[in-house]
Chain A
Amino acid sequence: MLVIGELINGMFKAVGKAIADRDKKVIQKVAKDQVAAGAGMLDVNTGPYEKNPKDAMKWLVETIQEVTDVPLALDSTKADVIEEGLKLVKKKAMVNSANADEEKLNTIVPLAKKYNAFLIGLTMDKKGIPRDKNERTEHAVTIITKCQEIGFNLSDLYLDPIVLPVNVAQAQGIEVLEAIKEFKLLCDPAPKTVVGLSNISQGTKTRPLINRTYLVMAITNGLTAAIMDPLDKELMNAAITSELILNKNIYCDSFLDSYRKR
């Protein structure tokens, strides 16, 4: 599974401050730590309070690429902020994200295509978050159809079924899991899937346990990527073990170490 490190996000206090102060050291440490812990990609989000997000995105991408080569997921609601990052990336990046809005799709999909990037498609639209797996699947179809129209390579698309906090929308947990399974039937080869994992435990008192449990369930349903905290070692161990039990890797007594040496 592709682990996309979530920690370079202005929403986190220390990172937000480092972005505001343009403090390279803090950002570079968070980047390196996540890569060392097994992140295959790093999410980059300037946070909601940044006054000049384009400049912040540019600075973040440059700062991170000074210390690591892993690809970046450029995370913003604004196309011009994402594009600022796309101009600078050394490796094939990920555009995070489009949703099923016609307007949004018409700007973001061509952008991802122009820069040969991966793309996250959130299965929601301006009417809000989906109520069940059927609405999620409808949005997924809209996104896939638009990608085909524009000529965006479907194997570069990651569908996001939108994970919601268990303490707010308890009934949605299973809907997301089933959506992950349904998405796989929409095209051949099956589209990839991604979740913003930590959302599931937002506002709860037992975040690591809920994250870990949900990740295992999602992987079992065929999840291909997660935006998550790679520094949570138990979470990473659970992901590795899930893939082992699903026969995606060959067992040996030191399977955790072996996976980490890949």
Chain B
Amino acid sequence: MDLMKECWTGKINTVTLGATEKEGGTRTSQITVGGETALPFLFKEGDIPHAPVIAMEVLDAEPTDWPEVLKKPFGDALKDPVKWAVKCVEEYKARLICVKLIGTHPDFGNKSAADAAKLVKDILQAVKVPLIILGSGDDEKDNTVLAKASEAAKGEKCLIGDATEKNYKTLAASCLADGHNIIGESPIDINIAKQVNILISEMGFPLDRIVVNPTIGALGYGLEYAYSIMERARNAALLGDKMLSMPFICFVGQEAWRAKEAKATSSEHPEWGDESERGPLWEAQTAVAVLQTGGDILVMRHPKAVEEVRKYIDSLMKKG
């Protein structure tokens, strides 16, 4: 019996993060995502030229709401973002680092744009993998912080975010000027995802430098809904909708570790079992679902979850 094969006409854009010396940057490696002409891991229906990648998350301020089980693998490095990034790359083999400048938020330390720019420079110095740089989510502050951070990383072809429907112009202009890629964010809403892309592209931003953050929910917290939105966008893209043909970035770690099922200790919930297994599993399970609906870049936290999901990706990419 023959397999029923879907024949798609569209293609996901290919986006490259990181500029090596040859391209005017200082990275020693690059990450390329996208380029799919079929749904995730359906190798018989089209090309899946680039494996999904995992970025490990580094914050510019010591996390206050992380449970012990999540803090433990990083130890003292949590107090020093540069050390933290180095640890992710050297010890946990991260090929991509995501620096979240949460400490610049007016309510979480209010660090200056200059502090953020210096940190970005220091991390670029300390690790040679490509960087994702995120603001704190405060629009006004992000417009000054990310502009400085972008400038500090000029020519390194980072991925910077997030641009939103209400706040995209400043960031898009910075990323254009400094040669970075950009993340367009929408609140689990396919219509807004498309609108953000068209708004950014109308500023002259090339479509193959945009990555979509569809926003997701963790396992048990709206994962199915996020999954279906991503699936619908990916279907439209493969049918030729260029305004949805971007790779996805998914903030798996951030969402999974919000869940009480991941965070709670076994003394609080003895029936749930050991949190040192349960927490990373919650994160890995969220990641696996997101991969199956088209996640290209997963931003994750716990090294154990990262390792498991990396193995999972490797096994799927063997095309067996």
**What is A's interface to B at a CB cutoff of 8 Å?**
249-254, 257-258, 261-262
Q: Is the CB of A254 within 8 A of B244?
A: no
Q: Is the CB of B232 within 8 A of A258?
A: no
What are 7 A-B contacts with C-beta separation under 8 Å?
A250-B194, A250-B232, A251-B191, A252-B194, A253-B195, A257-B198, A261-B243
The CA of A253 and the CA of B194, in the complex, are separated in Å by 9
**Given contacts A249-B241, A250-B190, A252-B243, is CB(A258)–CB(B198) below 8 Å?**
yes
Indicate with 1 or 0, residue by residue over B208-242, a CB within 8 angstroms of chain A CB atoms. Answer: 00000000000000000000000011001000111
Q: List residues of chain B with CB within 8 A of the CB of A251.
A: 191, 194
**Given contacts A250-B232, A254-B199, is CB(A262)–CB(B240) below 8 Å?**
yes
Residue B176 at the A interface, CB < 8 A?
no
**Closest Cβ–Cβ distance, residue A155 to chain B (whole Å):** 11
Q: List residues of chain A with CB within 8 A of the CB of B240.
A: 262
Residues of A contacting B: mostly: loop
Q: List residues of chain A with CB within 8 A of the CB of B233.
A: 250
Q: Is the CB of B236 within 8 A of A252?
A: no
What is the chain B residue whose CB lies nearest that of A248? B239
Q: Is the CB of B191 within 8 A of A261?
A: no
Q: List residues of chain A with CB within 8 A of the CB of B241.
A: 249-250, 262
**What is B's interface to A at a CB cutoff of 8 Å?**
190-192, 194-195, 198-199, 201-202, 232-233, 236, 240-244
**Closest Cβ–Cβ distance, residue B86 to chain A (whole Å):** 41
A-B CB proximity, top 3 nearest:
A252-B194, A252-B195, A258-B243
**Closest Cβ–Cβ distance, residue A91 to chain B (whole Å):** 16
Q: Is the CB of B236 within 8 A of A249?
A: yes
Q: List residues of chain A with CB within 8 A of the CB of B191.
A: 250-253
Q: List residues of chain B with CB within 8 A of the CB of A262.
A: 240-242
Q: List residues of chain A with CB within 8 A of the CB of B194.
A: 250-252, 258
Q: List residues of chain A with CB within 8 A of the CB of B192.
A: 252
The CA of A253 and the CA of B191, in the complex, are separated in Å by 8
Known pairs A252-B194, A253-B191, A262-B240. 14 more at Cβ < 8 A?
A: A249-B236, A250-B191, A250-B236, A250-B244, A252-B191, A252-B192, A252-B243, A254-B198, A257-B198, A257-B202, A258-B194, A258-B198, A261-B198, A261-B243
The CA of A121 and the CA of B202, in the complex, are separated in Å by 41
**Closest Cβ–Cβ distance, residue B312 to chain A (whole Å):** 30
**Closest Cβ–Cβ distance, residue B21 to chain A (whole Å):** 35
**Closest Cβ–Cβ distance, residue B12 to chain A (whole Å):** 15
The CA of A230 and the CA of B243, in the complex, are separated in Å by 22
